[in-house]
Amino acid sequence: MSKIKTTYNCTNCAYQTIKWLGCCPECKSWNTLELSQAPSGGQKTLVAPVTLTALSGIETKPFTRMLSGIKEWDRVTGGGLVPGEFAVVTGDPGIGKSTLLLQIADKLARSYTIFYFSSEESLEQVKLRADRLGITSPQLLFADQANLDQIISTAQAHKPHVVIIDSIQNCYTQDAHSIPGSIGQLKESAFKLMRLAKEHDITVIVTGHITKDGVIAGPKTLEHMVDAVFYLQGEDRWQTRVLRSVKNRFGTIHELGFFEMVEEGMQEVPNINQQLLEEISYSPGSVLISFIEGSRPLLLELQALVLSSKFGMPQRVVSGIDQTQVVLIAAILEKYLQVKLSAHDIFFKVSGGFKIKTSGADLGIALALLSSYFQKPLPEKSLALGEISLTGQIKPINHIGIHASEAEKFGISKLLLAHNQKIETSCKTMRFTNVYELLSLFGD
């Protein structure tokens, strides 16, 4: 006879311990540890061995990606959704996740059967939004249901092409003895949905909340279990929304799609660079760079504000780019150009709320700092591309042809480059060997 193993499980985060505690050490919740008894030891159940197959003996089924016709969505998903794919769309509350998925569902429903389960809103609330968006497809079916077991049972019985659940945090399964949204519930729910997708070739899309740190609320295992993770991001002052793929087993990661939130819903923004360039001022401290995210080159403005420090310790406030990178470039300029940036406050940002990470922005950072320091603007319609070494040398960057082509398309007339950068372009070029030569742009 097997022994009974006694443990205490946290109903909020599924933490296990052999003794009762008032406060869970994992999630810091009080009075959430409950007694659990399970058989332990004793005679083990016999399990049949797994049958192994060579690659040559595995049959694959041809599949067609499900294109929505919304090009920005199809771009980010890698050319459309794949049958049996399990994806999560996440973002801040009110950012437009439900609106976007309703529009995607409506487009897909013209060729496929779509089940849309709302665990947060009633059917009346869903219909109000659908009416505003002009959604009328008869193959798009709705239910307000939070019981995941019933959702899965319905999907198994009717076998739709796509199941959308908004949101997974509000769903619950009876096999997880904790409240909806807890880590235990999320793990069990994600596992069941993954099995539904893989065993029945049903594409499953769920929405998920994010924490104040900007990550999906719940365990990291949720991100590991799904095939794709798409973040919908945006700023309050902008109507523009950015859909970003951070994981995609069926496409490229870091791909971007741009939308604009209007009264009629989400509208595509295919020419985002045109919109970004309209806001560039070419004033002191402003520099234009090009940055590739996924397969898409973006023309972004770097803005620097350098002024004499009024306090004992100069401030360094940086947004949209690694602060260490800005501080490093400032140190290089002070070392080789004798500009006393260490005695100045430096405020630096990437316009539009974008976050970038590339050494190709080094030259742009240096020029923005110098432009603000000397209070002299750079030439209009110019673009800076280059890496700066610790010795002050300016180095060439990769994919220069993609950057130059995008610059030409939007009327950029001058490229600021490393002296040995190989490039074919109709733009004029100014080349620099080291940071000392940058002073020629400011009359020094």
Under the banding of pLDDT at 50, 70 and 90, the label for residue 311 is confident
- Bridge partners of 205? 87, 164
For residue 167, the model assigns a pLDDT of: 83
Q: What percent of the chain has pLDDT over 90?
A: 54
Question: Angle CA(247)–CA(253)–CA(256) in degrees, nearest 5?
Answer: 115
- Out of 142-151, 229-238, 367-376, which region has the weakest mean confidence (pLDDT)? 229-238
What is the CATH topology of the domain spanning 275-442? Ribosomal Protein S5; domain 2 (3.30.230)
Under the banding of pLDDT at 50, 70 and 90, the label for residue 218 is low
For residue 273, the model assigns a pLDDT of: 87
- Bridge partners of 91? 209, 232
For residue 10, the model assigns a pLDDT of: 80
Average pLDDT over residues 224-241: 82
Distances (CA, A) of 276 to 68, 122, 281, 381: 26, 39, 11, 13
Give the span between the Cα atoms of 187 and 14, in whole angstroms: 9
The string of pLDDT tens digits covering residues 99-118 is 999 999 999 999 999 999 99
| Short-list 291, 420, 441, 430, CA closest to 369 | 441
For residue 46, the model assigns a pLDDT of: 78
The string of pLDDT tens digits covering residues 46-94 is 788 998 999 988 888 887 899 999 999 999 999 999 999 999 998 888 8
Q: Show Cβ contacts of residue 4 under 8 Å, excluding neighbours closer than 6 positions.
A: 37, 38, 39, 40
Structure-block tokens of residue 247: 């994981």
Using DSSP, state whether 85 is helix, strand or coil: coil
Compare 120 and 5 and report the one with higher pLDDT.
120
Show the DSSP H helices in 316-389 as ranges.
323-337, 362-374
Answer yes or no: are the C-beta atoms of 163 and 202 closer than 8 Å: yes
How many Cβ atoms from other residues are within 10 Å of residue 31's Cβ? 10
The string of pLDDT tens digits covering residues 120-140 is 899 999 999 999 999 988 889
For residue 125, the model assigns a pLDDT of: 93
The domain locations on the chain are 3-40, 64-269, 275-442
Answer yes or no: are the C-beta atoms of 185 and 208 closer than 8 Å: no
For residue 360, the model assigns a pLDDT of: 92
Under the banding of pLDDT at 50, 70 and 90, the label for residue 1 is very low
Distances (CA, A) of 385 to 28, 36, 250, 404: 48, 61, 32, 10
For strands 296-308 and 114-118, give the pairing. Answer: unpaired
Average pLDDT over residues 264-273: 87
Under the banding of pLDDT at 50, 70 and 90, the label for residue 219 is very low
Using only C-alpha atoms, the chain has a radius of gyration, in whole angstroms, of 27
For residue 42, the model assigns a pLDDT of: 55
Show the DSSP H helices in 122-233 as ranges.
123-133, 148-158, 183-200, 220-225
For residue 111, the model assigns a pLDDT of: 92
Q: What percent of the chain has pLDDT over 70?
A: 93
Average pLDDT over residues 250-269: 89
Give the span between the Cα atoms of 257 and 358, in whole angstroms: 20
For residue 153, the model assigns a pLDDT of: 95
Give the span between the Cα atoms of 180 and 345, in whole angstroms: 48
Per-chain mean pLDDT for the chain? 88
CATH 3.40.50.150 assigned to domain 64-269? The reply is no
The string of pLDDT tens digits covering residues 342-366 is 999 999 999 877 888 899 999 999 9
For residue 221, the model assigns a pLDDT of: 61
The string of pLDDT tens digits covering residues 16-46 is 888 888 898 888 888 888 777 655 555 566 7
pLDDT beyond 90 at 198? yes
For strands 228-234 and 414-418, give the pairing. Answer: unpaired
